[in-house]
Structure 1
C-alpha cells in the first residue's frame, strides 16, 4: 500500500484543514488543578494554626520576650557570638584552604600531614576540644617561640595567662572549622575541570595566579553551599563555649532564665537572634553565589556584590566597558571571521621557532603512546599531524610544550629545552615555575577550547599578558581589542564563553594564545568539537595565521585543510611516525601502505 492510498482512505473531513477562524473574541479559562488547590488550603490552615497557637498562648511570654530581646546583656552576648563566628570562620577557612592545597600538593608527606589533621580534628567533639584547650596549661606550663630542637628562643609566656577562655574558644572553633572547611575547599578544587588547569599552565600563568584567578573562582561555585552550611553550624556551635563560662548569647540567656525562671521566653530570645543571624548569612550566601555564577549561566541574575563592584569601578562591566562600545550593527560571525581574519597575517607576533624532536618515547603504564619519535620543523612552517585516534598525535603535541613529560628523548625550541637546563653535558630538570616561564613561547589552542568560564572574552585574553608578560592592563586591553577585531569578535568582548557559539569560543581561544606573541602555536584538533557549519570560520582564521610567520603545528582530521595550508604532513600510527613530507606527496602519492589505507577511508 502506498502513502497516497493511505491518505486517500482517511475520512474527507480530515483531509482538508479547518477554515480560518478568529479566536480574539473568545474567553480563556485557565486549567484547574484540584490537587494544588487542596494543598494550598491545607498549607494555609497549618500556618494559621501555628501562628494562632504561638501568638494566643500567654505561656509563651511575649511580654518577657520583648523586655529582654534588646536588653544590654543579651546584646553583649550576641556581639560575642558574632565575633566568635567571624574569627572562627575567617581563621578556620584560611587554615582549611592551606590544608586543602597541601592535600592536593605533590608532596606525599605534606598531603599525609594534612590528612592526619583532618582525621584528628573531625574525630574530636568540639566541646571536648574546648575543654582540652582551656586546660592546656596542665600539659604545658609555658608556651615559647623559637627554633625547634635548638636553644634559640624569642620569648615565652605562661600558658594560663596566654590562653584565656576567649582565646581558647577562638582557637577551638578555628581548629574544628579548619578540618571541615579543608574538605569543602578540596572538593571544590577537584570539581574544576582538568582542562582549566592545563589551559592556565599552557599560558604560563604562575602557580599562585592559577590558583587565585582560575581554580578557586571556579571552585567557589561548589564550595559556597557547603561552606555556608559550615558557617551556620559554626554560628550555632558557639553555644558550646558555655562550657568555658564565656558569656556568649546562649550562656547569657542561661544566666538570665536561671534568675527569673522565665525559661521559654528567654529561649525564644536566643532562637530569634539565631534566626536573624541565619537570615543575614543566607542573604549573603545568595548574592555571593550569584557573583560566582559569572559565566555559568547565559543570563545570570543580578547580584548586590556585582553592583557594589560596579560602583567601585572594578566590576565585570568595567572590563566590558574598557573593551570599547559595541558596534551598532555587527557583521554576521562567519563573514566577519573571513573579512577581519585577513589582517592576522599582518600581526606577525614573533619570528617562528624551530622545533626539534629527538627520539621521544612516552608510556602510560604498559601502553606505549610514543615510540622513538624524531622530527624537525623549520621556523615559520605549518605542519599537519594526521592519523587515526589513539595514534599518539595529541600526546606528541602536548609534549612539545611539556604538558606531557616524556620518558625518553628531548624536544627543543630554537635549541632550548622547555623542561630542562643544560650545564656542560648534564641536563637538570626545571622546577614548575621555570617551566611555566619557558612555556610562554609556545601557545596552545585546545580541542575543547578550555576558555575560563568565569572570565569574559576580553578578560580571557588579557589575563596572561598582564600576569606573564608584565604588560599594563591598559596596553593588554588595547591589544586584546585588536585581536578580537581580527578574529571577527569585536562586539563580543564583554560576553562570557557560555554566551558564545562553539566557533566563537574557538576564535577567542586563538586570540588568547596569540596575545602572548608565541614563537610556536599548537592546535589540538581545533575543529573536532564544532558543528560542521562552524568549522569553516575557525579554519579561515588558522589559514590566515599560517601567513603570519609563527610556527604552527596542527593535529587535525581535516585532510582537505591539511592539503591546503600545511607545508608538510606527518602521518602517525601506534605512536610512530610512518611518513612525512609535502602534502602533495603524503596525501597524493603516499609511500607507506598504512598511509594509503588510512587515506582511502577518510577521503
Structure 2
C-alpha cells in the first residue's frame, strides 16, 4: 500500500476525495497583518503631510532656492567644502593610523605620547583649535626647519604668511579628526582575534605584511562604519571654518542671505547640498563595507545599484550566483593521495628541549621540561587540561618565550644566536624567518577569513619563501588536491565544514615545507563525524619523515600513529615511552589514573 493509499484509508470520509489532489495550480494568499498595514498607511500619511507642508508653503521660497542652488558662488563654496573634507579625511586618517599603531605598540613612551595627543585634541573644541591655529603667528613669529636644540636651520618662514586661513582649516580638521579616528582604528585592530596574529606569526609573515594583509583588512569591518560617521561629521564640521572667513559652502550662503535677506531659501540650499554629500558618502560606505565583508558572510549582500535595478525588473538580483561549496562527508573523497604524495616534503629535524620553564605571573605553566624528539619521529603529548601541553608546543616555535632553558632544532637554538659562550636574543624578523621551519596547525584552524582557500595557502610561500605567484598557486592546487579539497580553492573558510577548514590549515602549513610540524589538538573543535577527515591526513604525514609533535586527546589515534607518548601534568613531564608501554603498562600511578578515565 502506498503512502497516499494509507492516508486515504485513515482519513475521514469528508476528506478522502481531496487527498492526493494536485495543488500546484492553486493561488496562495499570504496572511494579512493588520497592524503592519495600519502602520504603513500612517507612515505614508505623515510623509505626504510633511512633503505638502514643505513644498506647498510659498514661504519656503522655492523660486529663490532654484535661483541660487546651482549659482557660481554656491558651487565655488561647495567645491571648497569638498576639498576641505577630502584633505581633512586623508590627512586625519593617516595621522589616526600612526597614533593607533603607537597606542598598541610595546613602547610605553610611544603609548603615553599617543594617548596624550588624543586626550588633548579630543578635548579642544574644533572652533577653538581653528582660532588658535589662525593666530599662531602671535605665539611664534617664524617656523623653521633644522636640527632641534641647535642653531642649525635649513629654512624658515614667516608664520603669518605661512598659516593662511585655508592651511589653518586643513590643519585644524586634520588634528581633530586624527585624534578621534585613532581610537576608531585602534578599536578595529583590537577586534581582530588573537589567533589571527598568532597564525600569521607562525607562518613567518613579516610584521608589515601581517598588518597590511591580515590584520587591517579584518579590522576594516569594525573601522568602516564608525570611520564614515567621522567623515560625514567632518563634511558638516567644515561649516565651522566660517570663523576664519574662509568662503566654504556655509559661509558663502551666509554672505548671500545677509545681502538679499532670503534666509530660509538659502539655508535650504546648504541643507540640500549637505544631504547630497551625505547620500554619496553613504553609497560609498555601503560598497566599502560590502568589499570587506568577503569571507565574513556566506553570501555577500547584493550591489546597491543592482538591487535597485532588480526591483525595477531590469536585471536579476544574483546573476552569477553559484551554489555554495558543500562539505565532503567522511568516507567520500576526503583524501585523495596520488601515490606517495608526501615524498616531496623535507626530512624532519631533531627537536631538543632542555630545562624549559615558563610562568605567567605567579602561575608556573612549564616546570623544567626536558625532552628529545628524534628527526622524523611522531610524538603525542597527552595529559589533563591545564597541564602545559599547548604552552610547550608554542615554545617550540617561539610563539611563547621561555623564562629558562633552551629549545633547539637540528642543534640550532630557537630564538637565540650563539657567539662563543654568549647567547643573543634574535630580532623579531630573524625569529619569523626561523619560524618557517616549524609549522603549526591550530586547534581553532585560524584561517584568514577574508582570504580564499587558495590565498590562504599561497600567502606565506610568496611573502616568506619568495615564490612567484604562479609557482605558489601550482603548489597550492597540488596540496589542496592531496587533502581532498581541489574543488574548494576559490571558497572562503566560512563556506567550509570544520574538517575541511582544518585540512586547509594543514595544506597552508605544508606549503612552507617545514622540518617540524606542530598540531595543537587538531580535532578538538570538530564534530565526531569530521574527526576522521583530519586524522587521515595526519596519518599520511606520519609516514612522510617530517617530525610531528601532536597535542591530542585522541588516545586511540596516538596509539596508532605515535612513536612515543609524553604524559604531562602541572607543567611537568610525568612519563614518556612507547605507546604500548605508556597506554598498557604505565609506570607512574598518575598516568594510570588519567588513562583509566579516558580509555
* TM value normalised by structure 1: 0.92
Cα displacement string for residues 444-492 of structure 1 (whole angstroms, at most 9, x for unaligned residues):
0000000000000000011111111111111111101111011100000
Contact 1:337–1:541 (8 Å) recurs in 2:
no
Q: CA 1:500 to 1:15, structure 2 compared with 1: closer, same or farther past 3 Å?
A: farther
Aligned residue among 489, 492, 496 for 2:492: 496
Contact 2:327–2:497 (8 Å) recurs in 1:
no
* Match status 1:336 vs 2:333: yes
Q: Tell me which residue corresponds to 2:223.
A: 223
Distance in 2 of aligned mates of 1:447 and 1:342: 29
Cα displacement string for residues 21-49 of structure 1 (whole angstroms, at most 9, x for unaligned residues):
53627654322211111111111111111
Distance in 2 of aligned mates of 1:227 and 1:540: 46
Contact 1:363–1:369 (8 Å) recurs in 2:
yes
Shift of 1:546: 1.0
Cα displacement string for residues 330-383 of structure 1 (whole angstroms, at most 9, x for unaligned residues):
9766432333376432232x2211100000011111111111000011111111
SS at match of 1:359: strand
Shift of 1:329: 12
Cα displacement string for residues 529-568 of structure 1 (whole angstroms, at most 9, x for unaligned residues):
0000000010000000111111110000011111111111
Distance in 1 of aligned mates of 2:335 and 2:485: 11
- Worse-superposed segment, 52-61 or 116-125: 52-61
SS at match of 2:380: strand
SS at match of 1:570: strand
Aligned residue among 545, 564, 571 for 2:560: 564
Contact 2:356–2:405 (8 Å) recurs in 1:
yes
Q: Which runs of 5+ in 2 are unaligned?
A: 1-8, 307-322
Q: Tell me which residue corresponds to 1:209.
A: 209
Aligned residue among 327, 341, 345 for 2:342: 345
Contact 2:91–2:174 (8 Å) recurs in 1:
yes
Q: Tell me which residue corresponds to 2:512.
A: 516
* Match status 1:284 vs 2:281: no
SS at match of 2:553: coil
Q: Tell me which residue corresponds to 2:375.
A: 379
SS at match of 2:359: strand
Q: Tell me which residue corresponds to 1:442.
A: 438
* Match status 1:73 vs 2:69: no
> Which runs of structure 2 are paired with 1:66-105 in the superposition (5 Å)?
66-105=66-105
Cα displacement string for residues 75-103 of structure 1 (whole angstroms, at most 9, x for unaligned residues):
00000000000000010000101100000
Cα displacement string for residues 485-512 of structure 1 (whole angstroms, at most 9, x for unaligned residues):
1110000000000000000000000000
Distance in 1 of aligned mates of 2:271 and 2:254: 13
* Match status 1:546 vs 2:545: no
Q: Tell me which residue corresponds to 2:312.
A: none
Distance in 2 of aligned mates of 1:27 and 1:90: 57
Q: Tell me which residue corresponds to 1:33.
A: 33
Q: Tell me which residue corresponds to 1:22.
A: 21
Contact 2:397–2:414 (8 Å) recurs in 1:
yes
Distance in 1 of aligned mates of 2:29 and 2:513: 65
Contact 2:326–2:496 (8 Å) recurs in 1:
no
- Worse-superposed segment, 521-530 or 336-345: 336-345
Distance in 2 of aligned mates of 1:576 and 1:500: 38
What do you get for the CA RMSD once the two structures are aligned? 2.1
Shift of 1:254: 0.4
Cα displacement string for residues 197-224 of structure 1 (whole angstroms, at most 9, x for unaligned residues):
0000000100001111000000000001
SS at match of 2:301: coil
Contact 2:327–2:496 (8 Å) recurs in 1:
no
SS at match of 1:340: coil
Q: Tell me which residue corresponds to 1:599.
A: 595
Q: Tell me which residue corresponds to 2:314.
A: none
Q: Tell me which residue corresponds to 2:311.
A: none
Aligned residue among 406, 414, 429 for 2:402: 406
> Which runs of structure 2 are paired with 1:306-317 in the superposition (5 Å)?
none
> Which runs of structure 2 are paired with 1:39-438 in the superposition (5 Å)?
39-303=39-303, 334-340=331-337, 343-348=340-345, 350-438=346-434
Q: Tell me which residue corresponds to 2:320.
A: none
SS at match of 1:154: strand
Distance in 1 of aligned mates of 2:374 and 2:14: 70
Q: Which runs of 5+ in 1 are unaligned?
A: 1-11, 307-325
Distance in 1 of aligned mates of 2:64 and 2:114: 49
Contact 2:330–2:529 (8 Å) recurs in 1:
no
Contact 1:137–1:160 (8 Å) recurs in 2:
yes
Contact 2:336–2:481 (8 Å) recurs in 1:
no
Q: Tell me which residue corresponds to 1:315.
A: none
- Worse-superposed segment, 25-34 or 118-127: 25-34
Contact 1:341–1:544 (8 Å) recurs in 2:
no
SS at match of 2:332: helix
Q: CA 1:17 to 1:512, structure 2 compared with 1: closer, same or farther past 3 Å?
A: farther
Contact 1:96–1:185 (8 Å) recurs in 2:
yes
Distance in 2 of aligned mates of 1:243 and 1:39: 46
Distance in 1 of aligned mates of 2:140 and 2:271: 39
* TM value normalised by structure 2: 0.92
Contact 1:342–1:486 (8 Å) recurs in 2:
no
Aligned residue among 567, 584, 589 for 1:588: 584
Q: CA 1:409 to 1:72, structure 2 compared with 1: closer, same or farther past 3 Å?
A: same
Distance in 2 of aligned mates of 1:576 and 1:17: 77
Contact 1:291–1:305 (8 Å) recurs in 2:
no
Contact 1:370–1:576 (8 Å) recurs in 2:
yes
SS at match of 2:336: helix
Distance in 2 of aligned mates of 1:358 and 1:224: 48
Cα displacement string for residues 88-143 of structure 1 (whole angstroms, at most 9, x for unaligned residues):
00100001011000000000010010000000000000000000000001000000
Cα displacement string for residues 282-317 of structure 1 (whole angstroms, at most 9, x for unaligned residues):
0000000000001011011245899xxxxxxxxxxx
> Which runs of structure 2 are paired with 1:574-585 in the superposition (5 Å)?
574-585=570-581
Equivalent residues, number:
571
